[in-house]
Amino acid sequence: MATDTFRYSMGAGLAIIGVLSVVLNSLLFFVCVKRNRLRRPPQYFLISLAMIDIMAVAVWLSLTVVSLFNDGWVVPQELCKLQEYTMSMCLYLNSHSFVLLAFERFLLFLRPSKHAEIFINSVVMIMLLALWLFDGTLAAFPYFGWGTVRYFSNQFQCAMDHEKNIRETNFVTVMCFGIPISLCLGLYMFIFIMIRKIRSRGDDNGALIVEINKRAIGDSYSQRLKNQQLKFQNAGTRVQKPNIGKKFTYTEDGYVSNDSSDDENTQKTVQKDSQKQTVRQKKVYHMAKNDSLLTKTYIIMTILVFLLWLPYLVVTYIFLKNRYANISDEIVFVVVFFCQCTTFIKPLVYVTYNSHFRKHVMKCFRRKASAQRENETAASERGYDNMALE
């Protein structure tokens, strides 16, 4: 049995991890929803991961903290299976979300034109809905009789009794570790090779070219019908020159400069002009620095989460091989502690490593602070006006 000092110290540490996880994931959720340039379909996967972590803290981590401080399971027994269900569902969702993130990055570097067609609002929402339903069903297998759940005093949590469910344990290992790790490894290896090829070629401005779409804009069937309609609709009107919009600027490394400090109103105007007019020219997709940075962020997040779950997987199979293995209760719970740290490590990596996101955080709260100052100034001016009238 673990000592009282160990229980209280680990309980306090886990409570701090839970609070930081909720704060960082709420910050990630708020900024992604608030900022227009982050509220794009590929970012919905990050919002989904933030919701997963908050759910894990509310049901999985919090009940473990209560068990640590009370040295046992004191809440209603019905919550035991709910904690195990949340733990399993979060593991499934994290593993499969990492595969979707890797596929999104893979398609972005392989065929940016297809990436723009696939990762739209409706398709991404269907992906996320299917992911939550699929993983929620997989995590509910113990409710259907496949697997036994019980409270483990050395883990201070309810978990699957793997010694009695070897087939279910192997199934979870393959679905959460074997297939996702293999797919992520293959996709990121291909992305690494693609980036090296992209760096070897560039245009006259030194920008890194990802793809040159050989079909001119307007060659699709729907666009041809639209052009045909516009042809008769605008008959007899004066032809205007197309507004190509603002020229691209490039950094010294050849990336497209898409800093968040650019004037958003100007960009919206350019987008509206480009939608009104059809310019028949070849589309060149350049590699943006933020895309490369976001890919590195996803890789670090994926590696850290799987590494934190790896000790739990190893200890589980050690006990499957020898149920009387000489592993102390303290070591077993430290392994569980590493697993629950995954709710905190993902937003920590994203917020600290991704400088592009930090710029949006500063702009988001700077606007809020400036608006508050303007309201205070207006209120004070109204006060002076009332005094003058008196």
Query: What local confidence, expressed as pLDDT, does residue 220 receive?
Result: 54
Across residues 209-225, what is the average pLDDT?
59
Across residues 366-390, what is the average pLDDT?
49
185 and 266 co-located in one domain: no
Residue pLDDT, tens place only, 272-309:
544 444 444 566 766 677 788 889 999 999 999 999 99
268 and 325 co-located in one domain: no
11 and 78 co-located in one domain: yes
Alpha carbon separation from 130 to 81, 89, 105, 136, 365 (Å, rounded): 23, 14, 20, 10, 34
Of 281, 307, 335, which residue sits at a domain end? Answer: 281
In the predicted structure, residue 112 carries a pLDDT above the cut 50? yes
Query: What local confidence, expressed as pLDDT, does residue 20 receive?
Result: 93
Flag whether 107 is in a domain: yes
246 and 345 co-located in one domain: no
CB-count burial class (<10 Å; 0-12, 13-18, 19+) for 365: middle
Amino acid at 6: F
Least confident stretch, 91-105, 112-126, 178-192: 112-126
Q: What angle do CA 156, 160, 166 make, to 5 degrees?
A: 140
Structure tokens at 198: 């992209």
Query: What local confidence, expressed as pLDDT, does residue 311 receive?
Result: 94
Give the residue with greater pLDDT, 44 vs 289. 44
Structure tokens at 299: 């890789």
Q: What is the mean pLDDT of the chain?
A: 79
Name the most confidently modeled range: 198-202, 288-292, 304-308, 321-325. Answer: 304-308
In the predicted structure, residue 153 carries a pLDDT above the cut 70? yes
Q: How many CB atoms lie within 10 A of CB 130?
A: 10
Structure tokens at 343: 């709710």
Query: What local confidence, expressed as pLDDT, does residue 129 receive?
Result: 96
124 and 269 co-located in one domain: no
Flag whether 371 is in a domain: no
Query: What local confidence, expressed as pLDDT, does residue 300 receive?
Result: 94
64 and 194 co-located in one domain: yes
Amino acid at 170: N
166 and 115 co-located in one domain: yes
First vs last C-alpha separation in the chain = 76
In the predicted structure, residue 206 carries a pLDDT above the cut 80? no
Alpha carbon separation from 195 to 87, 255, 288, 297 (Å, rounded): 36, 12, 12, 15
Query: What local confidence, expressed as pLDDT, does residue 256 receive?
Result: 56
12 and 119 co-located in one domain: yes
Query: What local confidence, expressed as pLDDT, does residue 388 receive?
Result: 41
In the predicted structure, residue 227 carries a pLDDT above the cut 80? no
Flag whether 250 is in a domain: yes
Of 281, 307, 328, which residue sits at a domain end? Answer: 281
Query: What local confidence, expressed as pLDDT, does residue 90 receive?
Result: 94
Residue % of the chain over a pLDDT of 90: 37
In the predicted structure, residue 203 carries a pLDDT above the cut 90? no
Query: What local confidence, expressed as pLDDT, does residue 161 receive?
Result: 84
The HSE-up count of residue 324 (CA atoms within 13 Å, CB side) is 0
113 and 69 co-located in one domain: yes
Q: Please report, for the chain, how many H helices and E strands are present, in that order.
A: 14, 4
- Give the pLDDT band (50/70/90) at residue 326: confident
Number of domains in the chain: 2
CB-count burial class (<10 Å; 0-12, 13-18, 19+) for 28: buried
Contacts of 123 (CB under 8 A, 6+ apart): 41
271 and 303 co-located in one domain: no
Of 281, 301, 329, which residue sits at a domain end? Answer: 281
Residue with tokens 């065929």: 111
Query: What local confidence, expressed as pLDDT, does residue 329 receive?
Result: 87
Amino acid at 246: K
DSSP letter for each residue of 57-122: IIIIIHHHHHHHHHTS--S-THHHHHHHHHHHHHHHHHHHHHHHHHHHHHHHHH-HHHHHHHSSHH
Q: What pTM was estimated for this model as a whole?
A: 0.75
Across residues 168-188, what is the average pLDDT?
94
Flag whether 247 is in a domain: yes
Cα-Cα-Cα-Cα torsion 267, 269, 271, 273, nearest 10 degrees, comes to -150
Max distance between CA atoms of the chain, in angstroms, equals 89
The HSE-up count of residue 374 (CA atoms within 13 Å, CB side) is 6
Name the most confidently modeled range: 284-288, 322-326, 348-352. Answer: 348-352
Q: Are 4 and 326 within 8 A, CB to CB?
A: no
In the predicted structure, residue 378 carries a pLDDT above the cut 50? no
* Helix (H) or strand (E) segment spanning residue 254: none
Give the residue with greater pLDDT, 236 vs 143. 143
185 and 77 co-located in one domain: yes
Query: What local confidence, expressed as pLDDT, does residue 41 receive?
Result: 85
Flag whether 92 is in a domain: yes
Q: Are 121 and 42 within 8 A, CB to CB?
A: no
Give the residue with greater pLDDT, 88 vs 285. 88
Query: What local confidence, expressed as pLDDT, does residue 368 receive?
Result: 52
Least confident stretch, 30-34, 146-150, 223-227: 223-227
Q: Which domain holds residue 269?
A: 215-281
Flag whether 368 is in a domain: no
Query: What local confidence, expressed as pLDDT, does residue 144 receive?
Result: 78
192 and 239 co-located in one domain: no
Name the most confidently modeled range: 47-61, 145-159, 222-236, 362-376. Answer: 47-61
Q: Are 136 and 142 within 8 A, CB to CB?
A: no
Flag whether 167 is in a domain: yes
Flag whether 188 is in a domain: yes
In the predicted structure, residue 8 carries a pLDDT above the cut 60? yes
